[in-house]
Structure 1
Amino acid sequence: MSLIDRILDLAALPAGVLPKPALAMARLSLFDWLVCGRAGINEPLSGKLRRLAEDEGGRGAASVFGGAPAPARMAALVNGATSHALDYDDTHFGHVGHPSVAIFPAALAVAEEAGTSAQSVVEAFLVGAEASVRIGMALGAVHYNRGFHQTATAGAFGATIAAGRILELTREEMRAAIGLCATRASGLKSQFGTMGKPYNAGIAASNGVECARLAKLGFTSADDGLAGAQGFIPTHSDAPDTEAGWETPPPATFLFEDIKYKLHACCHGTHAMIEALLTARRETPDLSTVTVESLHLRTNPRWLAVCDIKAPRTGLEVKFSYNWLAGMVLSGKDTARDDTYSDALAADPELGAFAGRITVEGDASLTDMQAEGSLKLADGTQLAIDHDLGRQLPEAELAAGLRNKARALLGDRGEVLWQAMQGLSALSARELGRHTGA
């Protein structure tokens, strides 16, 4: 079976066959997405996009984080970028993308306009996210490594499928929507460390709304814009594998269940190192930038082009700097709070001095979720460090971690939002949208 037919089958799965464990993770992702979006309302890029929405005007059909309702496509753009502004949202390492910020904004905007339920938003998101992971795996690591941002590329297909599901597209309409997305999807890693990175997420969500709605209007497209001749995958990957991951097809297996959540407000590629250093500090409390003479870190080579900024100039760039983040952990700075990452932090002389004592090396034997290394102490002692983010945590432990994160970002409003999500099955999409307010 061709990839496009497999994706179309996935897009058409009845709600009743979606796995309960995957739906439970999708609900956690919804909560986490709302928390990240509300926490990002006051970021400069968010205000600029709300201004763009106000200037363009149009029918206020969908909710906007911190702003007035806007047309669905514009709401998806603003909400996608706003929720990725802090770079604190979930990650799927199957293709190294952020599903929630690309797909939830599209699903919610279209569902609010269509007047469907909050549950339909969760179901559409789950199907779209699963499709984005599998399309991202078909594109392969070479797609990401050569500079494409999977959140924006594979994520746009997920957003299209989620929006199309809400709009109840026929199989042929969904095929057309995917074909239109193939000529629309875009996003580059060169934007990392700037406002352009979260903008990529907004573009993906906006593209999803646009492509699904055009298909509903009867817009035509290539029969197989995904993997056909001169389609998205063959033109955007030198080593595509359209069979990747399909030895375990849905609905029996949903790869989305391996979603990972951020508990540090920086690039997910740095989290294994951070956790390894935090473990070392718990075991050896006197570790600091003073007592550590040097750090040698080994990480998957793909991260060297993503989060190895040696001399960050801004708080945003600090989030993509192994050298700065290592010093932050060892000097006791809170990597979980977004307000830690100020522009002044990039000029911190202590961190700058320690950064020169760190070497980062690519090691292809490590997965995207692993980090290993060694600390040399001033007294000559060598300490080995390692961490693997791939360990699956129980749902209750995940929920507790996300509630703590929500309280750290939103204060008491975080717990209010958590309680509201417990009644999700009774909410309409419009009622869900009200939780994007400040």
Structure 2
Amino acid sequence: MSLIDRILDLAALPAGALPEPALAMARFSLFDWLVCGRAGIDEPLSGKLRRLAEEEAGNGTASVFGGAPAPARTAALVNGATSHALDYDDTHFGHVGHPSVAIFPAALAVAEEAGASASAVVEAFLVGAEASVRIGMALGAVHYNRGFHQTATAGAFGATIAAGRILGLSRAEMRAAIGLCATRASGLKSQFGTMGKPYNAGIAASNGVECARLAKLGFTSADDGLAGAQGFLPTHSDAPDPDAGWDRPPPGTFFFEDIKYKLHACCHGTHAMIEALLTARRERPDLSLDSVESLHLRTSPRWLAVCDIKAPRTGLEVKFSYNWLAGMVLSGKDTARDDTYSDALAADPDLAAFAGQVTVEGDAAVTDMQAEGFLKLADGTQLPISHDLGRRLPEAELAAGLRNKSRALLGDDGEILWQGLEGLATLSARDLGRYTGA
């Protein structure tokens, strides 16, 4: 069976065939996405995009984080970028992408316009996210390592499928929508550390709405724009493997169940190191910048082109700097609070001095979710450090972590949002839209 046919089968799964464990994680992702979007309302990028939405005007049918309703495609653009502005959203390491910020904005915008239910939004998101992960795995590591941002590329296909599911596209129409997305999807890692990175998420969401709606209008496309001749996979990957990721076919177990949530407001590639250092500090309360002579870190080679900025110039770039973040942890700075990452932090002389004592090495034996290494203490002692983000947290522990994160970002509104979503089965998509803080 071809990849496009497998994806079409996935897109057509009835709601009753979606595995409950994956739906549970999708509901967690909805909460986390809304929290990240609400928390990103005051970011400069978000204001600029709301102004763009206002200037384009149109039929305001879809909610916008912190702004007036806008046309569905524009709302998806604004909401995707806004919810990724803090870089605090979920990550799937199967393809190293952020599903929620690319796919939920498209699903919600189209669902509000269509008068769909909140449950339909979650189901469409889950199917779109699962498809994006599997397409991303087929593209392989070479796609990401070459410089493509999977959130924007594979994510655009997920957004298209989610929006198309809400619109009730036929199999032929969904095929056309995927083909249109193949010629529309884009996004580069060169934008990391700038407003262009969250913009990539917005582009993916907007592309999803556009491609699905054009297909519904009868727009035609290549029969297999995904993996066919000169399609997306062969043009964007040296050796795409259309069979990659299909050892767990749906229905049954979804790869989405392996989704990971950020509890630190920085690049997810740095979180294993942060957790390893926090564990070391808990075990050795005397650890500090003064007591550590150097840090030698081994990480996945993939991350060296993503979050190894040696001399960050802004608070945003600090989020992508192993050297700076290591010093922050050892000096007791709160990496979970977004307001910690100020531009002044990038000029901190103590962190700058310690950054020169940090060595970061790519090691193919270390996975994307692991960190290994050692601290050399001032007395000559070597202290091993390690952490693996791959361990699945029990649902209760995960819920507690996400609620704590929401309170840190939104105060009491975080708990109000959690309680509101407990009645998800009775809510409409327009009800969800009200939680964007518009």
Aligned position for 1:367: 367
| Match status 1:169 vs 2:185 | no
Q: Distance in 1 between matches of 2:255 and 2:218?
A: 32
Matched, 1:417 2:417: yes
Give, in angstroms, the shift of residue 78 of structure 1: 0.1
What do residues 207-244 of structure 1 show as CA deviations (whole Å, max 9, x unaligned)?
00000000000000000000000000000000211111
- Pair 1:98-2:84 in alignment: no
Report how many residues are paired: 438
Aligned to 2:261: 261
CA distance in 2, matches of 1:44, 1:326: 27
Alignment of 1:261-410 (within 5 A): 261-410=261-410
Equivalent residue letter for 1:171: R
- 1:143 alignment counterpart: 143
> How many angstroms does 1:313 deviate by?
0.1
Matches of 1:70 and 1:273 in 2, distance apart?
A: 41
> What letter corresponds to residue 269 of structure 1 in structure 2?
G
How far is 1:252 from its partner?
1.1
The superposition leaves residues 55-77 of structure 1 with CA deviations (integer Å, 9 ceiling, x where unpaired) of 11001000000000000000000
Which string of whole-angstrom CA distances, capped at 9 and with x for unpartnered residues, describes residues 350-377 of structure 1?
A: 0000000000000000110000000000
Tell me which amino acid in the other structure corresponds to 2:6: R
Alpha-carbon distance in structure 2 between the residues aligned to 1:144 and 1:166: 29
Measure, in 2, the Cα distance between the counterparts of 1:252 and 1:406.
Answer: 31
- Between the aligned partners of 2:239 and 2:263, the Cα distance in structure 1 is 33
SS at match of 2:435: helix
**Structure 1: runs of 5 or more not aligned:** none
Measured in 1, the distance between the counterparts of 2:262 and 2:175 equals 34
The code of the aligned residue for 2:242 comes to T
Q: Secondary structure at the match of 1:436?
A: coil
Residue 253 of structure 1: how far off its partner (Å): 1.6
Indicate whether 1:7 and 2:28 are aligned: no
How high is the sequence identity, in percent, across the aligned residues?
Answer: 89
CA distance in 2, matches of 1:272, 1:240: 28
- 1:14-73 Cα offsets, whole Å, 9 max, x none, are 001100110000000000000000000000000000000001100100000000000000
Q: Cα offset for 1:435?
A: 0.2
By how many angstroms is 1:247 displaced? 1.6
Distance 2:196 2:35 in 1: 21
CA RMSD of aligned residues (A): 0.4
Q: Quick one: distance in 1 between partners of 2:98 and 2:155?
A: 8
Residue in structure 2 matched with residue 241 of structure 1 by the alignment:
241
State the shift of 1:333 in Å. 0.2
Amino acid at match of 1:238: D
What is the CA-CA distance between 1:150 and the residue it aligns to? 0.1
CA distance in 2, matches of 1:246, 1:401: 31
The residue type equivalent to 1:195 in the other structure is M
CA deviations over 1:249-278 (Å, ceiling 9, x no partner): 111120000000000000000000000000
**1:190 corresponds to which letter in structure 2?**
S
- TM-score, normalization: structure 1? 1.00
CA distance in 1 between counterparts of 2:53 and 2:399 reads 34
Measure how far apart 1:79 and its partner are.
Answer: 0.1
Q: Which amino acid aligns with 1:227?
A: A
Could you report, residue by residue, the CA deviation over 1:388-413 in whole angstroms, capped at 9, with x for unpaired residues? 00001111110000000000000000
Q: Equivalent residue for 1:32? A: 32
Provide the rounded CA distance (Å) in 1 between the counterparts of 2:427 and 2:183. 35
Aligned to 2:184: 184
Supply the AA of the counterpart residue of 2:262.
K
Runs (5+) with no aligned partner, structure 2: none
Give the aligned partner of residue 107 of structure 1: 107
Q: Secondary structure at the match of 1:124?
A: helix
